[in-house]
Amino acid sequence: MSDDAILTSTIIVEGILENISPFVIGTGKGDIVDIEIIKDEIGNPYIPATSFVGALRHNISKNFEEGDKKIWDYFWGSKNPNNNKAVQSHFIVSDIKVKGNKETKIEDNKNKSFIAVRDGVAIDEKTGTAKEKAKYDYEIVNKDLEFEFKAEIKIRKNFKNKEIEILKILKTILTELEARKVQFGAFTTKGFGRFKLKNLQILKFDFPDDGVTYLKYLQNEYPPENKLDLSKIDILSKKDNADCIITADFSIKSSLIISSYTTDPKDPDKVHIKYNGKNVLTGTSLKGAIRSRAFKIVNTLCKNNQEENDDLRELFGWADTENKEKTKYKSRVIIDESIVEGVIEKEQARIKIDRFTGGIIAGALFQSKPLWHNDENVQLKIKIKDAKDWEIGLLLLVLKDLWNEDLPIGGEKNIGRGVLKGKKIEIEYKEHKYIIEKSTNDDETNKIVVNDSDKQILEGFVEELLEKVRDWDVR
């Protein structure tokens, strides 16, 4: 038997993956919704191993040096275009299913549904209104579910002397999962698909010595002497990181509503969107508003219209829905969802007015239940992958409009809802943190406070944007 066929060790990794944000891994168009969540044989959502490993490999490859190509291919597997010299992956992951009773649906276990339906609409960047026939519905898996994670790594005799290098890749994977840095599924640029790894346990069985012990493990016995300690193993070398992370804190000036329509006849006609009973500021609403304002700013600065600007499309993402072009861009701007706490929820009765007579339209009374300002903190977390200075400058101008109460979020903007008031902004870029704060001086409530050296650098980002605009104008 050749050395590449002899199994010398098996490493088993077990833990719990908890989704700290909603996620969408779909099966395509369903009978009722446009995107239906993939479910197992009893109707519970799960994460296919193919989706999981694909996203994991992409994340590690993008952010870390691969090192020895043979070890990398041994771990992940490889296949060249000519179908020659294919290498089978020795990192084996099971489908990731909901923790607990495998024969009972989640709804039956916990008395509430963890799959919800949201709707979205494409916005025309020129008019700021919804595009014709561009509404869609999609299922999501709400946050705070626990999934069982199980993986194995096979060590064969011809790679036994490379075990430390293999463990480095494993340590890097686990570190990234524990740090919540890997996202899975669709809509990841809108804050979906973020997980954290916990309750981690790593076992190692060396053969033939641990053969009997391994059989006991397969019978659900967990011998403590076979636990593997990775504390002295290094992770892979990181690639240069030019990501920019912006954390911005706001309060609500008056009220805010991102509408969710309920089927309960006792509820108002419009309520703010929730998951697991908590009010949420959705990444889809935030990103739509920020993208629209960014294009508006650029078109204001430019002499010619920039709706088809490839630099902006590459930043915010773009796909040709009419299939005239094959080029697609995945957004490098990622905006997380956030929980809004400390607000007051209060119903408000509204009516429709006949614009010709000024009177009430018969039968047009409806109830709205927005979030009202109280003692809340509305946090926006924005990440620009592989950021360029001009891109940060553009986002700074968008944040300026938010700070100055000029960019409302959500619905019912025509009656003053969705306006935010700035409190603090932190920008992390290239190992430096820039802080913008609201003045605590009662006589300067609208003034911002920023370090002089930081102010000069931040203004430099905007200057880079203006230089980019001049370049676009001469094209």
Q: Average pLDDT across each block of 10 residues of the chain; the chain has 475 residues. List them in order.
A: 77 93 82 82 89 92 90 86 73 90 54 69 64 76 90 90 93 94 88 92 90 86 78 90 92 87 72 81 89 91 82 86 70 90 84 74 76 89 94 95 91 86 92 88 70 91 93 78
Please state, in angstroms and rounded to a whole number, the distance separating the CA atoms of residues 92 and 52: 11
The whole-angstrom distance between residue 383's C-alpha and the CA centroid of its chain comes to 10
Is 234 contained in some domain? no
Amino acid at 308: E
Q: By the 8 A CB rule, do 17 and 234 touch?
A: no
Tokens of 101: 């009773």
Is 438 contained in some domain? yes
Tokens of 216: 């006991």
Is 202 contained in some domain? yes
Predicted TM-score (pTM) of this structure: 0.82
Amino acid at 32: I
Is 237 contained in some domain? no
Please state, in angstroms and rounded to a whole number, the distance separating the CA atoms of residues 188 and 175: 20
203 & 262 share domain: no
252 & 209 share domain: no
381 & 248 share domain: yes
208 & 346 share domain: no
Is 232 contained in some domain? no
Please state, in angstroms and rounded to a whole number, the distance separating the CA atoms of residues 249 and 402: 11
Tokens of 111: 């008395």
Point out the domain boundary residue: 226, 253, 274: 226
Q: Which domain holds residue 24?
A: 3-226
SS (H, E, C) the chain: CCHHHCEEEEEEEEEEEEECCCEECECCCCCCCCECECECCCCCEEECHHHHHHHHHHHHHHHECCCCHHHHHHHHCECCCCCCCCECCCEEECCEEECCCCCCCHHHHHCCCCEEEEEEEEECCCCCCEEEEEEEEEEEECCCCEEEEEEEEEEEHHHHHHHHHHHHHHHHHHHHHHCCCCECCECHHHCCCEEEEEEEEEEEEECCCCHHHHHHHHCCCCCHHHECCCCCCCCCCECCCCCEEEEEEEEECCEECCEECCCCCCCCCEEECEECCEEEECHHHHHHHHHHHHHHHHHHHCCCCCCCCHHHHHHHCEECCCCCCCCEECCCEEECCEECCCCEECCEEECCECCCCCCECCCCCEEEECEECCCCCEEEEEEECCCCHHHHHHHHHHHHHHHCCCCCCCCCHHHCCCCEEEEEEEEEECCEEEEEEECCCHHHCCCEEECHHHHHHHHHHHHHHHHHHHHHHCC
342 & 460 share domain: yes
401 & 453 share domain: yes
With tokens 């992940």, the residue in question is 76
Point out the domain boundary residue: 226, 258, 279: 226
Instruction: Output the CA angle 55-59-61, nearest 5 degrees.
Output: 115
395 & 350 share domain: yes
Q: Angle of helix 69-76 relative to helix 163-178, nearest 10 degrees?
A: 60
7 & 101 share domain: yes
Residue 115's nearest CA partner among 168, 38, 173, 181 is 38
335 & 384 share domain: yes
306 & 414 share domain: yes
Please state, in angstroms and rounded to a whole number, the distance separating the CA atoms of residues 284 and 23: 13
200 & 302 share domain: no
Q: For CA atoms 116, 19, 378, 299, give the dihedral sign.
A: negative
Is 231 contained in some domain? no
pLDDT for residue 445: 58
8 & 114 share domain: yes
Q: Phi and psi dihedrals of 139, rounded to 5?
A: -85, 145
Pairing of strands 255-256, 344-345: unpaired
Please state, in angstroms and rounded to a whole number, the distance separating the CA atoms of residues 219 and 213: 10
Task: List, in sequence order, every residue forming a beta bridge with 23; answer none if it has no partner.
Answer: 141
Please state, in angstroms and rounded to a whole number, the distance separating the CA atoms of residues 22 and 363: 37
Point out the domain boundary residue: 226, 260, 290: 226
Is 47 contained in some domain? yes
pLDDT for residue 111: 38
pLDDT for residue 113: 64
Number of compact structural domains in the chain:
2
The whole-angstrom distance between residue 20's C-alpha and the CA centroid of its chain comes to 10
